[in-house]
Every structure is written in structure tokens, then in C-alpha cells.
Structure 1
Amino acid sequence: MKKTDSFAGFLLIGLGLYFLIRQFNIPFLNPFYSWPTILMIIGAAFLLHSNISREFANIFTGVLLLGLGVHFHGKVHYSFWIDHWGVYPFIIGIAFLLRSFKTKSGLLPGLILIAVAIFAFLTTSNPIWFRFINLLFNWIENFWPVVLIGFGCYLIYKKR
């Protein structure tokens, strides 16, 4: 097996299993027939590819997509799930930390993001400037396609 083709292989296997199981319409798997599951499959494919091919830069992407998929799935299906803007920096911080274990870069941003997230979770009376962050994340939750388009344009037109 070529290591360069492993991502596409894992992705196709994961998506194939997802759609095959979906055709069987197993009742207790109905909550998983949604777009967060596809995010989790893509994230798992990135993680498997990065560990097998030893390209550890993909760990960040894999953890980010897997974490977002788990968060969005939990938000819909579990009443105890935390629906707070602090979850997003927490997921990104975990992604930085896990990548830093293999690449030795990104430890400080990961720790800072996790500290901000924990501070946001634990404080009952937030400072006045947290209201701006709350409004920003509410806007991003409502208009996330615009954020994706903007980030895509940035990646295309940035100086190399």
C-alpha cells in the first residue's frame, strides 16, 4: 500500500461504510445519519493517514474535524452537552496540543486556547469584553459559510 494514497483510501472506506450502514437503516444508529458523522469520518481519515504515513502536520486537521463533528453531534442529540463558545477554542487547543506531541510546535498556542476555554467555562460573571467574543461566535455560528468562503479566498490569494 502506498502511504501517499492512504488518506483517500481511509476516506473512501469510511464514507462507504457510512452509506452502507445507512442503507440497512439500523434503528439505534439513526442519530449517526447526519453531517456531523461525515465530519467525524473525514477527521478520522486524516488521523489514520497522519499516523500511518508519518505526516504529523495532518493531526491538527484530523483532531479539529473529529472534534467539531463530535461537538455538533453532541449538541443535537444530548441534553447535557455544553453549547458554549468556549468549546471551539478548546477543540482548537486540543488539536494544537496533540500535534505538538509529534511535531514539537504549537504547544504554547494550544495551552493558551485551552486556558481561555476553561476560563470561559468556569466564570459566571464574564468581563465586559467577553460580550464581544460572545457576539463574534454567535455571528460565526449563524454565518459560518461566509467564514469558510473568506478563509478559502485568503488561502487562494495569499502570497506564497
Structure 2
Amino acid sequence: MKNQRIFPGIILIGFGAYFFLQQSQISLFKEFYTWPTLLIIVGIAFLFQGYLARDYEAILPGVILSGFGLHFHVVDRLQIWPNHIGTFILIIALGFLLRYQKVGAGLFQGMLFLVLAILLLFYDKITQWLGLLENGVSLAWKFWPAALVIIGIYLLIRKK
């Protein structure tokens, strides 16, 4: 029973603190009175549920929600933080890899998302490194979404 109280307990504490600080009009925290903060609170609740209650399936949504909330907070504040779809895929990859660390499942998905994130985030540098192969890479780059769809369909219909 104790383990089932962690998630709602963290949610209530986090939301209560959020709304208290919002009502108090404390200017120090003014930039945190936004919906990404609520994503972070829910994500942290999932992470506490995952690690403290040993409900390891909660790690993935915890990392995704916390990471997305953190992304939306820092994307306009840090020059080095990328505002790119690859950032979201990297956060998802991190969630799968952290879940794999505890559950032992999800390594393939984590590595797949990690490779995809690296390709998306560093596409310009990769094409510069490849130099002469740029025409072939640009052709492949044009059709990679179709390749993802085909691989996804294959994974859905393949039998174990």
C-alpha cells in the first residue's frame, strides 16, 4: 500500500507548492508559473514512483514528461540548447535507456531513438564529413521517413 501512495503524494505536494507560489506572487519564481512546470512535476512524480516504489515501468513516462518540461523551460534561455525535433527524440531515447537499466527491456528502442536523434541533431555536420557522398546522402535523407514507416510496419506484423 505504501508504494501506491508515492505518485499521488508527489503530485499533490508539487501542485500544491506550484499553486501556492503562484498565488503568493513571488517574483523570484515568476518564470516558472507555466505549463512546462506542471509537466516537470508530473514527470518527477513518475520518476519517484519508478525508483522509490520500484515500479520501473514509470521511468519512461517520468523521463519524457520531465525532459519535455525542462526543454520548454530552457530552450529560450540557453543559447546552446537545441530547439529541434532531435531533442525530443533524444529525451525519449534517454527514457528507454534508463528503463532498460532497471527492467532489462527496451535497449533496442533506446538505441534506435538515440541513433535517430544523433542523425537529426547533427545532420549538417554528418553531411559535411561525408563530403563526396553528399548527393547519395541527400537522396537517402529524402526517403528516410518512408524507411521508418516500413520498419514500423514490419515490427508490427512480424511474429516472435
Instruction: State the TM-score, normalizing by the size of structure 1.
Output: 0.75
Structure 1, gaps ≥5 residues long? 135-160
What is the match of residue 18 of structure 2? 18
Aligned position for 2:39: 39
Residue 127 in 1 paired to residue 134 in 2? Answer: no
Q: How many residues align?
A: 134
Alpha carbons of 1:133 and 1:31: their partners in 2 closer, same or farther (altered >3 Å)?
farther
Which structure: greater helix fraction? 2
Q: Say whether residues 1:61 and 2:72 are aligned partners.
A: no
RMSD of the alignment, in Å? 2.1
Matched, 1:94 2:105: no
Residue aligning to 1:70: 70
Larger Rg: 2
Aligned to 1:145: none
- Tell me the TM-score normalized by structure 2: 0.75
| 1:123 shift after superposition | 2.1
CA distance in 2, matches of 1:18, 1:83: 26
Structure 2 distance, partners of 1:22, 1:131, is 47
Q: CA deviation at 1:97?
A: 0.2
Give CA-to-partner distance per residue, 1:81-117, whole Å, 9 cap, x none.
2111111110110000000000000012111211211
Distance 2:14 2:144 in 1: 36
The runs of 5 or more residues in structure 2 that have no matched partner are 128-136, 146-160
